[in-house]
Every structure is written in C-alpha cells, then in structure tokens.
Structure 1
C-alpha cells in the first residue's frame, strides 16, 4: 500500500517539503552528534552553547515530526482535496501544533548561535558581547506573544481545529505580528552570520582556513533569506487555499531552522575534519626573517611570531631546526582577556597547532610550521 493510499490528502507541495526537511534534519542531527562527541572526548569548550543547541534541535525535531504528520494529512495540498477526503480536522490540528513548536524553535536557535559566539568572543570585545546578548533577549521576548497567539486566535480554543467553527477564528493579528517578528528574525540571522566573519578576519591563521570558515559560518545568511520568504508566506494563512500556500511557509521555515543548526555546528566539530584538510592548510606567520646571535661559536636563531617574545634554539648545520607551534586562544574566561597569540619552540615535533578557548582546548586546529621553510 502506497503513502497516497494510506493518506489520501497527501500531495501537492507536501512530498517535496517532506523530503527537504528530512534531508536537512539528518544533516543537522549528524552535526549535533559530532558536537557531542567533540565536547565529551576532545575538549570542554562551548558547553552553554551546546546546551542551547540541543534544545533548539529538540524543538526543531518536534516541528519536523508534526510537520511530516501535517503533510500526510494535507499540508501543502489544495484545500479542496483535503475537504473531499475528510482530512480537514487532522490537517488543522497538526498544522497548528507544528506552528506552535516552530515558534519555539526559531528563537531558541538564535539564542544558541548567540551563546556560541559569546563564548567564542569571550570578554575581548564587550560591544559584540552586548550586541549578541541583545539579539538573544530580543528574539525571546518578541516570540513569547507569537507562541501565545497561536492558541488565542479562536474562541473557544478548540475551534482552531474544528472545521465547522472556523468562523470563530481571526488569524489576522497572528499573521500581522508574524510580519514583525519575521523581520526581526531575518535581521538577526544576517547579523549572526556577519559577526563570526568579523571575529575571524583579524586572526593570523591560514588564509584558506580563515575564508573557508568565514564562508561556512556566513551561510547563516541563507537562514535570513529563508526567514524573509517564510514571513512573506504567512499571508497565505488568510487565503481561501491556505493549506497549499502554507506549504511554502513550512518549506522555508524548516530551511531556516535546520540551516541555523548546521552552520553553528561547523566550528565546534572542526577538530574532526582537521586530519583531512591538513595538506591544504598551513599556519601563516609574519616575520622578516631569522635573526642570529653567536655565543661560544654556537649559532642561535630567534623568530618573533605574532608579537611574542623571541624564542632561541640551536641552528647549527647538523641540528634540525625546531618547529614553532602557535596557539591562538579565544578566551572564554570571565577575567579580563584579549585574543592571545603565543608561540614556543621545541626540539620535538608537535602534531598541530590550534585555536582554543582560554584553557587551551581546541575548537580549530592548524598544522605544524617548520622553520626550515622560508
């Protein structure tokens, strides 16, 4: 028996919306599992952000589950088909439950991104920190009425999913407020996509890594575009063929939710991908060349790196040059701190460098640099 036979209202935009949502959901879930693995097995950076991310994933997953049920009962199909097969009650019930969890997932995702960027930034830039807190608070406060309005559109409440009492419902206030909240959500997505680029550009790391991470984290702009489209699509709730038009809202809503979760998970899981990119990434260092001092016929070399103090080490022809390992720390500690760059010389080969939190635990790792190379 096919899906169409079991659920006669299934069709229209519904099947493509369902496939897209499941595909993005699987990708986001894989990233969340990797984040948990990195947090438990590799480092302890980003615990607060991970907690909010898991909460956002939970609400988004519930949204997707009820969205699938809604699609099976007619979401994305024409209202005439839904009425003909007698699925209007189920369509209304599960669609509004989907909208309820959607209104919980959207602000939680914004808070999760803000929390991660706050931990990544640390106290080094208080203006960015305050702006991120403002974005998180604003999205929470503005979405509280949005969540409540779902259940106060009809009098009594159960008229919301009763096909015979739809005259008791007025969806206009909810739709108009959605325009306002949707605009704020879109601006938040754009801002949260630009901030990490602003934070990464000053770092003296490999250019390929810098621009690669900037691009991947900047993909949050697609969430902003999705927020604009789904805000526009909210107007279909007021049309006579609302079930078909709301399919657009559902599609772009799931894109917005899952893209936010995917893009925010890229930096925390980077240590898992570092071995596959080591051949393409190197640590950039700015130096004018080695400086030599002689003492007791022994040659010593020092190379200043990122403003750190010079590190001396033997440089005789028969002695292999040391490796300079560089740790760029993005502090997450409460004490006053700025982004710290330090270097150390060693006669031993150190496997890689890293960008880490204030406790030296990595969230981005780089490959080693050999002083032998010019």
Structure 2
C-alpha cells in the first residue's frame, strides 16, 4: 500500500517537500556525526559550538519529523482535498506543532554558528566578537515573541487546530511579525557567512585554500536566501488555499534549517577531507636561501604578527586545520608532505616553530596554524 492510499490527503507540493527535507536532513546528520568524530578523535576545538549544533540538529530533526507527519495529512496539498478526506484537523494540529519547533530551531542554528565563529576569533578582533554575541542575542530575543504568538492567534487557543472554529483565529499579527523576524534571520545568515571571509583574508596562506575555505564558510548565504523566500511565503497563511501555499513556506524553511547545519559543519570536519585536497593546493613558497637582515626585531613583533605591512625577512607559511590531537606550540616541526598535511614548503635547513592563529592563548589547539623559521626572533 502506497502513501497515497494510506494517507489520502498526501499530495500536491507535499511529496517534493518530503524528499527534499529527508535528503538535506541525511546530509546534515552525516556531517554532525563527522563533527562528533573529529571532536572525540582528532582535536578538542569547538566544544561549545558542537553542543549548540547538536541542540540545533535535534530541534531541526523534530521539526522535520512533525513536518513529514503534516505532509502526510495534507501539508502542501489543496485545502479542498483536506476537507474531502477529513484530514483538516490533523493537518492543523501537526502543522502548528511543526511551526513551534521550527521557531526554536532557526535561532538555535544561528547561535551555534555565532558560537563557532566566536571560538575561531578568540585571538582576533574584539569588535567581531561583540557583533557575533549581538547577533546571537538578537535572534533569541526576537524569536521569543514569534514562538508565543503562534499559540495565541485564536480564542480560545485550542481553536488553532479545530477546523470548526477557525473563524475565531486571526493570523495577521503572527504573519506580520514573521516578516520582521524573518528579515532579521536573513540578515543574520548573510552576516555570519561574510564574517569568516574577513577573518581569513589577512592570513598569508595558499590563495586557493583561502578562497576555498572562504567559500565553504560562506555557504550560509544560501540559508539567507532561503530565509527571504520563506519569509515571503508566510503570506500564504492568509490566503484562500493556505495548506497548498504553506507547502512553499515549509520547503524553504527546511532548506534554511538544514543548510545552516551543513554549512557550519564543513569547517570543523575539514581535517578529514584535507588529504584529498592536497593535489589541488600547491605551495607558492619554494626552498630558497634567506637573505641576511639586520635588526630583525624591527620587522616582527613579540607576538609574531605575520600580517604586518612592514617589510621583513622572507617567511613562508603552512596551514593545518586542527588535524593533530593535542597540538601545541611545542609540537614537532611540520614538514611539507608530512602526515600533518602542510601546504607550503620550507627551507630544509631551518627548523620551524608552529604559531597558532585564530585560537585561545590558553588553548593552542587552534583552527589554523602557521609556522615560521626558528632562528627568527619571536
């Protein structure tokens, strides 16, 4: 017996929404498993962000589960079909439960992204850190009214899922607030996608690697685009055929939820995919002799700032994305072609000292490491 025979209200946009949601959910779940594996077996970076990501994944999974049940009872199909099959009551009940968990999953995902970027930027710009905290707080504050409003659109509240008392409901306030909260959500996605690019831009690393990481970390732009469409589709709640129109809202809502989880999980699992990218990323720095310089201290600071505009000794760099467990500043020098996955070649005659970038001073297990010659002053 097929789904259409068992659930007569199933149809319209519903089957497409169901397949898309399950496909994206499977990819996101795989990435979450890989994130947990990397955290347990590879490095200890990003624990807080991982916990928040798991919470967001759980809420999104619950949302998707109730969304599938709603689809089976008519979400995405025409309202007259629901009335004829007697599925309108179940459609209303499960759809509003889906909306409830959706309104919790969306801000949680953005908070998880902000937490990851805050941990990544721990040694970086204080203004960026404050702005990320502001984005997280803003999404929490603005989504609380949206969660509450969904349950007070009708008088009494249980009329929300009663087909015979829909005349006692007024969805206009909730929909209008969705326009506002959705706009903020879209802007948050765009901001969270652009900020990593500004963090990576100053690093003196292979250009292909820099742009590749920037693209991967900027995939949240697609979530922002989905948020715009989802916000626009909220108007279908007020239409004459809401069950069919809400199928558009649900489709782009699940795209937004899952894309946020997928895009935030790509950078943390980079150590697992890095060996497959070496053939595409080649060193720009070749072995060469280092010219004699006098007064090295005028070129490098005591903190080892490699982004200074002052002219100085030739320094080649390497990048590794937390691929060794328990990495520290006293680790063995990383050589080109070693198991640590260096992307640049050093002078074979010079020992190196790894310098961690984008990590806490108290926790050297950073996300990006660069190395410099040992005989250069710190």
- Compute the TM-score of the two structures, normalised by the length of structure 2: 0.82
Q: 1:328 to 1:29 in 2, by over 3 A?
A: closer
Instruction: Name the structure 2 match of 1:238.
Output: 238
Map 1:203-222 → 2, pairs under 5 A = 203-222=203-222
Q: 1:361 aligns with which of 358, 365, 370?
A: 365
Q: 1:287 to 1:204 in 2, by over 3 A?
A: farther
Map 1:66-77 → 2, pairs under 5 A = 66-77=66-77
Is 1:250–2:254 an aligned residue pair? no
* Counterpart-to-counterpart distance in 2, 1:196 and 1:224: 15
Q: 1:347 to 1:252 in 2, by over 3 A?
A: closer
- TM-superposition CA deviations, 1:219-247 (whole Å, max 9, x none): 11111111010101000001110000000
Is 1:12–2:16 an aligned residue pair? no
* Counterpart-to-counterpart distance in 2, 1:22 and 1:192: 25
C-alpha contact (below 8 Å) 1:172/1:238 kept by paired residues: yes
Could you say what secondary structure the match of 2:150 adopts?
Answer: helix
* Counterpart-to-counterpart distance in 2, 1:346 and 1:243: 59
Q: 1:267 to 1:219 in 2, by over 3 A?
A: same
Could you say what secondary structure the match of 2:258 adopts?
Answer: helix
Instruction: Name the structure 1 match of 2:198.
Output: 198
CA RMSD of aligned residues (A): 3.3
Could you say what secondary structure the match of 1:279 adopts?
Answer: helix
Instruction: Name the structure 2 match of 1:166.
Output: 166
* Counterpart-to-counterpart distance in 1, 2:142 and 2:279: 47
* Counterpart-to-counterpart distance in 2, 1:348 and 1:194: 31
* Counterpart-to-counterpart distance in 1, 2:176 and 2:335: 66
Q: 1:345 to 1:78 in 2, by over 3 A?
A: closer
Q: CA deviation at 1:327?
A: 6.0
Q: Which has the higher strand share?
A: 1
- Compute the TM-score of the two structures, normalised by the length of structure 1: 0.82
Q: CA deviation at 1:290?
A: 2.4
Unaligned runs of 5+ in 1: 294-303, 312-323, 331-340, 370-374
* Counterpart-to-counterpart distance in 1, 2:33 and 2:41: 12
Unaligned runs of 5+ in 2: 294-303, 323-328, 343-355, 374-378
Q: 1:329 to 1:307 in 2, by over 3 A?
A: farther
Instruction: Name the structure 1 match of 2:121.
Output: 121
Paired residues, number: 338
Q: CA deviation at 1:216?
A: 1.4
- TM-superposition CA deviations, 1:232-274 (whole Å, max 9, x none): 1000001110000000000000000111111111110000001
Q: CA deviation at 1:360?
A: 3.6
C-alpha contact (below 8 Å) 1:100/1:150 kept by paired residues: yes
Q: CA deviation at 1:278?
A: 1.6
- TM-superposition CA deviations, 1:183-240 (whole Å, max 9, x none): 0000001101100011111111111111111111111111111101010100000111
- TM-superposition CA deviations, 1:338-361 (whole Å, max 9, x none): xxx999968998433486734343
